[in-house]
């Protein structure tokens, strides 16, 4: 199965907590891993990051995973194929509270 290729993902924090972008990814051997974490994202802030900058290998199947400080982490259901250098960006938003938050895909732009 061919997945949509992306080169970056963004996260807008609309929740009352501090979040950090993290990725879960599946490598060429079919094993699932969590990447390193990005910097803190506070209420109202949007950050965009290349998954490779957090250790995701080129060609891996990748999911947005949000680390919620002092709360419940959240992982998106959509899977993408990470392609280093691709101009496509998957844009996400997280909202709610530390223990009851919602993560959703807004759009994918080229």
- Cα(95)–Cα(75) distance, rounded to whole angstroms? 13
Q: Is the pLDDT of residue 1 over 90?
A: no
According to CATH, the topology of domain 5-109 is Immunoglobulin-like (2.60.40)
**Residue 2: predicted pLDDT:** 85
pLDDT in tens, 29-82: 999 999 999 999 999 999 999 999 999 999 999 999 999 999 999 999 999 999
DSSP state of 88: -
Q: How far apart are CA 30 and CA 66, in angstroms?
A: 21
């Amino acid at each position: 199965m061919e997945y949509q290729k992306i080169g970056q993902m963004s996260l807008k924090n609309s929740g009352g907590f501090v979040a950090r972008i993290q990725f879960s990814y599946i490598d060429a051997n079919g094993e699932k891993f969590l990447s390193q974490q990005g910097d803190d994202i506070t209420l109202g802030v949007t950050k965009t990051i290349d998954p490779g900058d957090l250790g995701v290998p080129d060609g891996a199947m990748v999911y947005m995973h949000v680390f919620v400080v002092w709360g419940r982490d959240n992982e998106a259901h959509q899977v993408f194929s990470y392609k280093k250098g691709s101009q496509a960006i998957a844009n996400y938003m997280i909202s709610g509270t530390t223990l009851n938050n919602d993560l959703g895909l807004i759009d994918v732009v080229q």
